[in-house]
Structure 1
Amino acid sequence: MWAVALKELRQMRRDRISVLMIVMIPVVDLLLFGYAINYNPRNLHAAVADQAMTATSRAAVMDMTATGIIRLHDVADTPQALVDMLRRGEVSVGIAIPPDYERRLADGRPAVQVMVDGTDTVVQAAANQLAQMPLERPNGGRIAPDAPQIEVVSFYNPERRSAVSIVPGLIGLILTMTMMMFTAMAAVRERERGNMELLIATPLSRSALMVGKVLPYAVIGLIQTTLILVLGFWFFDVPLRGSLLDVYIASVLLILANLSMGLLISNYTRTQFQAIQVAMLVFLPSILISGFMFPFAGMPDAVQWGAEVLPMTQFLRLIRGVMLRGASIWELWPAVLALVGFTVVTMALAIARFRKRLD
């Protein structure tokens, strides 16, 4: 038994990627959960439409910003412009102040309307915190917090059901896990089974061989997307406010991005076990810092910059914008461009790394 244990240790020591994963996985998890993950909503992108333009209304906006929950990202002329920003995903919170703001305060009526993107339950919780703020009176003093001076309106998910925001994100989660893992093991499996010699002997170019390897998985990804959509509509009554074609276009973009990433991983690993380890190391950040589980805006700026590289982050913006907010995929063109660029770069690296040689 001792001899077998020593053999396993020696074999593990020779496997450099496994040794690296033993160190990297706990380090990455610790940094992500300890530094990047923040349950408290902070720095949510917000826009304001201040139609009163008085010192009191400006003070109200400054007080809301001082909480750290929101960060002013833009200024709009009308409440309808705020709704358009919410639909395009440019902001998560819209603050509408009517022209008769001070009169409403004096009469004890709701004086501020906070519009929130209901596709994210964290944003709704942040808006509820803002609604508890006391507002300053025109003649000094503050309105009691229990007075309903701030009205919260949830767009796209008025019932505040968590399934509405989770199910579209599950499309990206499942596609990321399966597509990346399948293709990460594709080329490695051919080497382990001895089939690489047959593929090398074919007259196919490197590009044709790599594309041919991923095409079946792309079809599998579309089948998975259809299955999730059908079950989401059937069991959870998830709405589809945008175009179904746009949903499939967004899914295809994510599928291609993950397939190219999986191929790149397969070219740097020698066994299927190594491929799974590296794929999981990439998959973990896709769950934790993409905005699927934890508030994206509450993360440090450095983490947000890193998360912008992840295909899952861009896909969440696309799928929630199309399915839940009814936006056109072309209105969300920055995310489309990011996914296309990621696919082109990673596929080019995978093709350049692949050699039709056994040594």
Structure 2
Amino acid sequence: MFERIRHMLVKEFHQLFRDPQMLRFLILPPLLQVLLFGYAVTTNVRNAPAVVVDLDRTFSSRELAARFFSSGHFRLVRETTDIREAEDLMNRGNAGVILRMDPGFEGALRSGRTADFQVIVDGTDSNTAAIVLSYAARITGDYSGGVRMSRMQRNPVPFPGPPSVALASRALFNENLESRFTFLPGIIAFIVMLVCVMLTSMAVVREREIGTLEQILVTPITPAEYILGKTLPFALVGFGEILLVSTVGVLWFDLPFRGSLLLLLVSSALFLSTALGIGLLISTVSRTQQQAMMTAFLYFMPAVLLSG
């Protein structure tokens, strides 16, 4: 039994690696996809172009604007006192955010009243707009808390008002909420699944097309041995892909690796078994390699969108 499986493994590896284009397909595209998606797929917003409409012209209004630009999420495009000019810049696509402080901003803060501050964002990209608004709310909340604390230090006498709750939040496992640390593991899993399903989906149908399947069927090899001989090479290739792209993620993108490497390999084996099984099923029901490829792509869309 093991001798027949070994011969199948040798045959599959010879057939897999005798084509130089196959080696390039197994190495270059996964690396390029990890590098491309690692930089392109992100929800963090950096240097959003912003216009400041400061109608108050006081220290407090300038300090609040400086908080925005020192965060790294916003970039100053222009400072003006004309709201129409700021809106014109946004309409032309030169600005995505408008920060507006009306007259009396500092006076309201000094007297303990609520100071009005307006943030206008370009909503053509709803995701970016929501992220920018969350940044603005956080920066404004920090500034407001600092003003309140400074006022209490100057005047320790308690003033009437509703009780407040100080929120202390902390994110575990991704302290800075870097989006690439969320997307990269999913990208790695998708690339490995893509390679394994595509390779396995071509395995049986290629034998059928070139006419060697009938020759294998007349040999003493059993169906279980044939399936093992067909899937084990691609399982080893899949493990190699996992180690390759994971190493790139850890070394190039500083993706933190915490926990047991053995547990990762065991979980990867379970993941690979499903990908190889799906690829083998596609290869069995397909009659041509073109049909197998189209069926594999038909599977990928719902698998990616519905898998979470």
Q: Which has the larger radius of gyration?
A: 2
Higher relative contact order (CA 8 A, sep 6+): 2
